[in-house]
Amino acid sequence: MVYECEDCQKQWYYNVMKCIFCQGNVVELAPSKSTVRGITKIEIPSPGHTRVPYCDLLLEDEYGNFEIRKSFSDHELGEMLEAMPKEAKKVAKSRTVGIVGAGTMGSGIAQICAQTGYHVLMIDRHEETARRALIKIDKALSKTTKDEVKQEILSRIKATTNLYEMEHADLVIEVLTEDMELKKEVFRELDNECSKDTIFATNTSSLSVTELSEVLKDPGRLVGLHFFNPVPRMKLVEIIKSKNTSDETVEYAKEVAFELDKTPVITGDAPGFIVNRLLLIFLNEAIDKYSDGTSTAADIDKAVTLGLNHPMGPLALSDLIGLDVCKAILDVLYEGYKDPKYKPCKTLCEMVEKGILGRKSGEGFYKY
Amino acid sequence: MYVTGIGRTKFGTLTETMPELIYQAMYNAINDSPISIEDIGAVYVSNFIGGPSEKQLHLNSVVSSLLPELRLPIIRVETACASGSSALYQAIIALSRFENVLIVGVEKMSNATSSECSQNLGMAGDRMADQMQGLIFPAHYALVAQQHMQKYGTTHEDLELVAFKNHNNSRLNPLAHFSHKDVTLEMIKNAPVIASPLNLFDCSPISDGAAAVVISKNKKSDRDVKITGSALATDHISLSHRKVHTSLEAAKVASKQAYELAGITPKDLDIVEVHDCFTINELVAMEDLGICKPGESKDWVREERTSIKGDIPINTDGGLKADGHPIGATGLAQVFEVTTQLRGEAGERQVDGAEIGLTHNIGGVGGTAVVHILERRG
- The tens digit of pLDDT for each residue in A299-353 reads 999 999 999 999 999 999 999 989 998 999 999 899 999 999 999 999 999 999 9
Query: CA-nearest residue of chain A to B130?
Result: A68
What is the distance between the alpha carbons of residues B180 and B177, in angstroms, rounded to a whole number?
8
How much is the average pLDDT of A89-107?
Answer: 78
The residues, ordered by sequence, that sit 6+ positions from B286 with a Cβ below 8 Å of its Cβ are B274, B292, B297, B300, B306, B314
User: What b-and-e string marks burial along B266-282, b requiring 16 or more CB atoms within 10 Å of the CB?
Assistant: eeebbbbbbbbbbbbbb
From A272, A268, A298, select the one nearest A286 (Cα to Cα).
A298
The residues, ordered by sequence, that sit 6+ positions from B222 with a Cβ below 8 Å of its Cβ are none
Q: Do B331 and B105 form a contact (C-beta atoms < 8 A)?
A: yes
Q: B344 — phi, psi (to 5°)?
A: 75, 30
Interface contact flag, B118 A44, Cβ < 8 Å: yes
With a cut of 50, say whether residue A92 has pLDDT above it. no
Q: Please state, as a whole number, how many other Cβ atoms lie within 10 Å of the Cβ of residue A74.
A: 9
With a cut of 80, say whether residue A48 has pLDDT above it. no
With a cut of 90, say whether residue A148 has pLDDT above it. no
Q: Which fold has domain B2-112+209-216?
A: Peroxisomal Thiolase; Chain A, domain 1 (3.40.47)
Give Cα separations from A335 to A176, A212, A270, B289, B354 (angstroms).
Answer: 22, 18, 11, 76, 90
Q: What is the CB-side half-sphere exposure of residue A150 using CA atoms within 13 A?
A: 14
Q: B283 — phi, psi (to 5°)?
A: -65, -45
Interface contact flag, B241 A13, Cβ < 8 Å: yes
Q: Do A335 and A343 form a contact (C-beta atoms < 8 A)?
A: no
Report ipTM for this prediction.
0.91
Q: Do A121 and A98 form a contact (C-beta atoms < 8 A)?
A: yes
Residue-wise pLDDT for B240-298, tens only, equals 999 999 999 999 999 999 999 999 999 999 999 999 999 999 999 999 999 999 999 99
Query: What's chain A's average pLDDT?
Result: 91
Please provide the DSSP assignment of A176-224 as one string: --S-HHHHHHHHHHHHHHS-TT-EEEE--SSS-HHHHHTTSSSGGGEEE
B150 to chain A: which residues are within 8 Å by CB? 77
What is the distance between the alpha carbons of residues A139 and A107, in angstroms, rounded to a whole number?
12
Q: How far is B219 from chain A (nearest CA, A)?
A: 44
Active-site residue set of B: 81, 325
What is the distance between the alpha carbons of residues B78 and A93, in angstroms, rounded to a whole number?
26
DSSP state of B221: S
Give the residues across from B107 on adjacent strands: B209
B124 to chain A: which residues are within 8 Å by CB? none
In a mutational test of the B interface, the residue from A68, A86, A116, A119 whose CB has the highest number of chain B CBs within 10 Å is A68
What is the distance between the alpha carbons of residues B48 and A289, in angstroms, rounded to a whole number?
71
Query: CA-nearest residue of chain A to B118?
Result: A46
Query: Is the pLDDT higher at A116 or at A201?
Result: A201
Q: A264 — phi, psi (to 5°)?
A: -85, 145
The residues, ordered by sequence, that sit 6+ positions from B102 with a Cβ below 8 Å of its Cβ are B26, B29, B30, B37, B40, B42, B43, B44, B91, B212, B213, B214
Strand order through the sheet with A26-28: A11-12, A3-5, A26-28
- pLDDT score, position A146: 81
Three-class SS string for B89-146? Answer: HHHHHHCCCCCEEEEEEEECCCCCCHHHHHHHHHCCCCCCCCHHHCCCHHHHHHHHHH
Strands A80-82 and A33-42 come out as antiparallel
Residue A87 — pLDDT band, cuts 50, 70, 90? Answer: very low
- pLDDT score, position A288: 96
How much of chain A, in percent, has pLDDT values that exceed 70?
Answer: 97
Residue A84 — pLDDT band, cuts 50, 70, 90? Answer: low
A118 to chain B: which residues are within 8 Å by CB? none
Q: Please state, as a whole number, how many other Cβ atoms lie within 10 Å of the Cβ of residue A211.
A: 16
In a mutational test of the B interface, the residue from A39, A42, A67, A84 whose CB has the highest number of chain B CBs within 10 Å is A42
What is the distance between the alpha carbons of residues B109 and B121, in angstroms, rounded to a whole number?
10
Interface contact flag, B134 A13, Cβ < 8 Å: no
What is the distance between the alpha carbons of residues A222 and A200, in angstroms, rounded to a whole number?
5
With a cut of 90, say whether residue A104 has pLDDT above it. no
Query: CA-nearest residue of chain A to B134?
Result: A49
Note whether B378 contacts A: Cβ–Cβ < 8 A: no
The least confident of A137-141, A162-166, A360-364 is A162-166
Q: What three-state secondary structure class fits B241?
A: helix
The question of whether A226 is a catalytic residue gets the answer: yes
With a cut of 80, say whether residue A90 has pLDDT above it. no
- pLDDT score, position A91: 40
Residue-wise pLDDT for A265-303, tens only, equals 999 999 999 999 999 999 999 999 999 999 999 999 999
H or E segment and range at residue A82: strand A80-82
Find the chain A residues whose C-beta atoms sit closer than 8 A to any C-beta of B. Answer: 13, 37-49, 54, 56, 58, 64, 66-70, 77, 92-93, 148-149, 152
Domains of chain A: 3-91 (no CATH), 92-268 (3.40.50.720), 275-361 (1.10.1040.10)
What is the distance between the alpha carbons of residues A151 and A139, in angstroms, rounded to a whole number?
12
Q: Do B86 and B370 form a contact (C-beta atoms < 8 A)?
A: yes
A38 vs B143, B198, B236: nearest CB: B143
- pLDDT score, position A167: 85
Give the residues across from B234 on adjacent strands: B368
B193 to chain A: which residues are within 8 Å by CB? 41, 43
Chain A / chain B CB contacts < 8 angstroms: 100
Interface contact flag, B133 A152, Cβ < 8 Å: no
Q: What is the CB-side half-sphere exposure of residue B37 using CA atoms within 13 A?
A: 18
Interface contact flag, B193 A43, Cβ < 8 Å: yes
- pLDDT score, position A259: 86
User: What b-and-e string marks burial along B29-49, b requiring 16 or more CB atoms within 10 Å of the CB?
Assistant: bbebbebebebbbbbbbbbbb
What is the distance between the alpha carbons of residues A300 and A316, in angstroms, rounded to a whole number?
10
- pLDDT score, position B339: 98
Q: What three-state secondary structure class fits A310?
A: coil
- pLDDT score, position A324: 93
B197 to chain A: which residues are within 8 Å by CB? 40
The question of whether A15 is a catalytic residue gets the answer: no
In a mutational test of the B interface, the residue from A13, A46, A118 whose CB has the highest number of chain B CBs within 10 Å is A46
Q: Please state, as a whole number, how many other Cβ atoms lie within 10 Å of the Cβ of residue A236.
A: 14
Strand segments (E) across A115-170: 119-123, 157-160
Strand order through the sheet with B356-363: B74-77, B42-46, B100-107, B209-216, B2-8, B225-234, B368-375, B356-363, B271-273
What is the distance between the alpha carbons of residues B243 and B54, in angstroms, rounded to a whole number?
36
User: What parts of chain B have a pLDDT lower than 70?
Assistant: 378
Taking the whole predicted model, whether its pTM rises above 0.90 is answered as no
Q: How far is B138 from chain A (nearest CA, A)?
A: 9
What is the distance between the alpha carbons of residues A355 and A350, in angstroms, rounded to a whole number?
9
What is the distance between the alpha carbons of residues B155 and B254, in angstroms, rounded to a whole number?
28
Interface contact flag, A45 B132, Cβ < 8 Å: no
A47 vs B116, B139, B193: nearest CB: B116
Please provide the DSSP assignment of A250-278 as one string: HHHHHHHHHHTT-EEEEEESSTTTTHHHH
Q: How far is A59 from chain B (nearest CA, A)?
A: 8
Note whether B341 contacts A: Cβ–Cβ < 8 A: no
Give the residues across from B373 on adjacent strands: B229, B358
Categorise residue B312: left if φ over 0, alpha if ψ from -120 to 50, beta otherwise: beta
Q: What is the CB-side half-sphere exposure of residue A255 using CA atoms within 13 A?
A: 23
What is the distance between the alpha carbons of residues A13 and A63, in angstroms, rounded to a whole number?
14
